[in-house]
Structure 1
Amino acid sequence: MSKISSYDIWIILAGYLAAIHVGKLSAVIPILQKDLNLSFTQAGLSLSLVQGAGMLFALCIGAVSEKIGLKKCLIFALILLGMSSFAGLWIDHSISLYFFRFMEGIGFLTISLCAPAILKRLSTPETMNFKMGLWSSYMGVGVSLAILTIPVLLEWLSWQHIWALFGALCWLVALMIYHFLRYDDKQTTVTTAPLNTSTSNSFLSIVKATVTHPPILCLAVIFACYTSQWITLTGFLPSLYVSFNMDLKLAGILVSMVVLSNLGGTFGAGVLLQKGIAPFKLLQFSFLSLILCSWVVFSQPYWLIFELQYLCAILFSFIGGIIPTTVFANTLRYAPQVNAAASSMGLVLQISACAQFLVPPATAALVSSSHQWYNAAWVTVSLSTLGLLTSYYLFKIYTQKKEPI
């Protein structure tokens, strides 16, 4: 455990809690459709709306957080996330659901930007990949916890009270970080030096350095190709399994195992990177596997046995977990300048958020219009193909130009 400190644990815990708020809605989509009279497409919109803030503000929040202070922004984000979730007690219409999901998105986004930037500054070259592997598991852990625990909690509490409980946990973690995280925003990372050693504090210079740095742009597209299809598959799996006449609680348990399997990939990628496995090989293997697995997952049950479909869902999430660790490690290590770690992560998350905002409702609309779940596979296969091409461009073209990727 020498690779990780108690400070790291609080930061990673904040990420896990933020991801719970992303996954909490997919666990209750069938209930929300009844309580709020939502169509399936509207449910898809509410699922992706948490990414609305990232789609609009990720790069700006990343750059501003470096100036305000990463710890301050992390605490603010937890407070905001808690308030928005607690407001679930008063959600009685689709408009209020959309509004508070957007506000939760701001909190989730800020945590996603500030937490890894703090981890980078607290890391050494020997611990960097290990911590990134641990951090990258935050989506898998958080979403799986939400999907697994909410159907059980629904036996005693309404979904509104469950959301209020999650909000209170955010405030508790914010208080712990305020009191126990000893962190100086002025300290700089001791990891690999970035390409550009200029450290201008100007907001515009940070943004310009980030958006004009091709490797960061490529990594953003690669990450978007993964996250948009992962959130689509895991978000709609409960509804897919319910359409197979499966009990919602059982569906929640099965899907939570799918999401939880993502941890194996994120942890494993950190170990593989530490052992010197090329990021290019990891990304190519992952996207090729996603193409095969997603095609099987969305096949009709009379084409393939359910057990095979479920195994492929597990493999999809497990192997897909390799991608975020690989992307995060390269994004933080090769930010264009020392104080552009959060803005680089912001650009990656902003492009990813755009994809996550658009893909779930588009997939839901495609499935609703065709009444065939297998059409969702065309979406996932297309995204994986784009991820393959972009990773090839990044690691083959830019390595020839001596970019240290």
Structure 2
Amino acid sequence: MNVARQLRARLVVWVVLGCGVVAALHLGKAAIATPLLQADLGVDLAGAGWLTGIFAVLGLLGGAAAGAVVAAVGDRRALLLGLGVTAVAGVAGAAAPSFELLLISRLLEGLGFLLIIVAGPAILERLTTGAARDSAFSLWSCFMPSGMALAMVAGPLFQTWQGLWWTGSALAVIAAVAVGCCIPAGVSSGMPGRLLGNIRRVLFSRASVLLAVGFALYSLMFFALFSFLPVVLMERMDISYRSAGLLSALASVVNVSGNLAAGYLLKRGAGRGSLILFASGVMGASGIGIFLGWFEPQATFLLCLLFSAVGGLIPATLLASAPLAAGETFLVPIAVGLMMQGSNLGQLLGPVVVGGVTAAFGWNAAGPVVLLAALAAGVTALLLPAALQRSEPAKEGSPERSRSGDVQC
């Protein structure tokens, strides 16, 4: 491969990652804006939980269907559509005069988010191969903590929550321009047969279902903490809004270390189930310590860092397993879509359940929620290796891709 093709491959990966970061920023902005929303609209913790949780409703209902649509209409078109919907919904949210209309705009932002995070991996699957594909998926898994961290850092810089919403929409427009300039369109969706038939194949794949369940449990644990982390830090550490945003950003961005470590360890033969089992155990134990308030404030924040950093092993491992679970290249977007359904289920349940139990019983009640999710994730990790092994024969007969626009690395 010549230098120009190498640079093109890297540019594609970074542009796709940038789109994911913008999408995650729209998800995370509600958490850092909670104090501003409380002052402006009188939103309580339960309402703040719904502002984050409702973002996931469409993804929960139609993740696999979105994957089928992405495969049928083209990943680049779907990515552009997702960025456009996100930008428009963000503008509508900034102009919303009431909490109810803001919730509706968040629902539409969730649609854009879903299209972005399903189309992004589909583009990487189409345009990278071999070791470059493994590296690309590992890097892609960093989009969530990076976007969340960006939201936490940027949020306190705005005097109003509307300013954060307007800026997020502008970033979505910029990302769409970058996609139009830098990412080639696929010449074919490569998806034979009927949409419903291919969705059914993925839904009846035990490996794909386990990946979705694992993502649901991880997201539940992650958003149980990070949807309320700025508020937790302000209450537990008695710090300012800006300081809480910076510390929350640090806690979020260390998740990237786990994402990248998973890619490194998988290349060297680490067991997928073992990585998920270890990370789930650490998240569960850390979550108990964080929410029950057993430690001094500084030690509690260190537990937040541990929770995030080790937890990052899980999404990277799950995403890297999607091609193995799907078996066929044209089924990968649907498998990723099903995983995003699981992720959105966790995004919905985490903040809503924790917001509800916290409003009723205090922060201590959130600890058992995280622990139960961690135990269930551990069971999923034990079942996953055998399920992936049974999926491998379906892949052995699939031809190597040689489509126009592929970046061979």
Q: After the TM superposition, which segments of 4 or more aligned residues of structure 1 sit over 4 Å from their partners?
A: 1-4, 396-405
Aligned-partner SS, 1:392: helix
Match of residue 257 from structure 2: 264
TM-score (structure 2 length as normaliser) = 0.91
Q: Please tell me whether the aligned partners of residues 88 and 161 of structure 1 are also in contact (alpha carbons under 8 angstroms).
A: no
Q: Bigger shift: 356-365 or 384-393?
A: 356-365
The structure 1 residue matched to 2:315, chosen from 307, 324, 329, is 324
1:325-383 Cα offsets, whole Å, 9 max, x none, are: 10001013331432111111111111221232123111111111112x12111011100
1: CA distance, partners of 2:118 / 2:71: 10
CA distance change for structure 1 residues 404 and 382 in 2, over 3 Å: closer, same or farther? farther
Residue 347 in structure 1 maps to residue 338 in structure 2: yes
Match of residue 100 from structure 2: 95
Aligned amino acid, residue 281 of structure 1? S
> 1:187 Cα shift?
7.3
Q: Please tell me whether the aligned partners of residues 327 and 391 of structure 2 are also in contact (alpha carbons under 8 angstroms).
A: no
Match of residue 399 from structure 2: none
Match of residue 378 from structure 2: 388
The structure 1 residue matched to 2:205, chosen from 196, 207, 213, is 213
> 1:22 Cα shift?
0.5
Structure 2: gaps spanning 5 or more residues: 396-409
Aligned-partner SS, 2:131: coil
2: CA distance, partners of 1:185 / 1:383: 42
2: CA distance, partners of 1:400 / 1:164: 48
Residue 226 in structure 1 maps to residue 245 in structure 2: no
> 1:384 Cα shift?
0.7
> 1:9 Cα shift?
1.3
2: CA distance, partners of 1:100 / 1:54: 15
Match of residue 272 from structure 2: 279
Aligned amino acid, residue 205 of structure 1? G
The structure 2 residue matched to 1:291, chosen from 284, 297, 311, is 284
Q: Please tell me whether the aligned partners of residues 87 and 164 of structure 1 are also in contact (alpha carbons under 8 angstroms).
A: no
Residue 84 in structure 1 maps to residue 121 in structure 2: no
CA distance change for structure 1 residues 63 and 400 in 2, over 3 Å: closer, same or farther? closer
CA distance change for structure 1 residues 379 and 59 in 2, over 3 Å: closer, same or farther? same
1:278-331 Cα offsets, whole Å, 9 max, x none, are: 11111111111111111111122xx31111111110011001111011000101
2: CA distance, partners of 1:397 / 1:37: 48
CA distance change for structure 1 residues 87 and 187 in 2, over 3 Å: closer, same or farther? closer
The structure 1 residue matched to 2:324, chosen from 304, 320, 333, is 333
1: CA distance, partners of 2:169 / 2:382: 42
Aligned amino acid, residue 180 of structure 2? Y
Give the aligned length.
Answer: 389
Structure 1: gaps spanning 5 or more residues: 189-198
1: CA distance, partners of 2:78 / 2:66: 9
Residue 31 in structure 1 maps to residue 36 in structure 2: yes
2: CA distance, partners of 1:270 / 1:400: 22
2: CA distance, partners of 1:290 / 1:79: 35
> 1:398 Cα shift?
6.1
Aligned-partner SS, 2:129: coil
Q: Please tell me whether the aligned partners of residues 86 and 168 of structure 1 are also in contact (alpha carbons under 8 angstroms).
A: no
CA distance change for structure 1 residues 402 and 173 in 2, over 3 Å: closer, same or farther? closer
Q: Please tell me whether the aligned partners of residues 36 and 94 of structure 1 are also in contact (alpha carbons under 8 angstroms).
A: yes
Match of residue 165 from structure 1: 167
1:56-79 Cα offsets, whole Å, 9 max, x none, are: 121111101111111001001101
Q: Please tell me whether the aligned partners of residues 218 and 346 of structure 2 are also in contact (alpha carbons under 8 angstroms).
A: no
1: CA distance, partners of 2:47 / 2:323: 36
Q: Please tell me whether the aligned partners of residues 70 and 185 of structure 1 are also in contact (alpha carbons under 8 angstroms).
A: no
2: CA distance, partners of 1:46 / 1:209: 34
1:228-275 Cα offsets, whole Å, 9 max, x none, are: 110121111111122233211111111110001000000111111111
2: CA distance, partners of 1:162 / 1:178: 25
> 1:43 Cα shift?
1.1
Match of residue 195 from structure 1: none
CA distance change for structure 1 residues 216 and 256 in 2, over 3 Å: closer, same or farther? same
The structure 2 residue matched to 1:203, chosen from 195, 198, 201, is 195
Match of residue 310 from structure 1: 301
1: CA distance, partners of 2:149 / 2:244: 12
Aligned amino acid, residue 79 of structure 2? L
1: CA distance, partners of 2:145 / 2:64: 24
Match of residue 51 from structure 2: 46
Aligned-partner SS, 2:33: helix
Match of residue 181 from structure 2: 179
Please tell me the root mean square deviation across aligned C-alpha atoms, in Å: 1.9
| Identical counterparts, % of pairs | 26
Q: Please tell me whether the aligned partners of residues 86 and 165 of structure 1 are also in contact (alpha carbons under 8 angstroms).
A: no
1: CA distance, partners of 2:290 / 2:323: 33
1:141-187 Cα offsets, whole Å, 9 max, x none, are: 00001011111x22xx4221221121011112112211221232527
Q: Please tell me whether the aligned partners of residues 121 and 187 of structure 1 are also in contact (alpha carbons under 8 angstroms).
A: no
Match of residue 196 from structure 1: none
The structure 1 residue matched to 2:114, chosen from 109, 113, 137, is 109
CA distance change for structure 1 residues 97 and 118 in 2, over 3 Å: closer, same or farther? same
Match of residue 193 from structure 1: none
> 1:42 Cα shift?
1.2
CA distance change for structure 1 residues 61 and 185 in 2, over 3 Å: closer, same or farther? farther
Match of residue 120 from structure 1: 125
Q: Bigger shift: 109-118 or 360-369?
A: 360-369
1:9-32 Cα offsets, whole Å, 9 max, x none, are: 111110111111011110011211
> 1:404 Cα shift?
8.8
The structure 2 residue matched to 1:252, chosen from 233, 245, 251, is 245
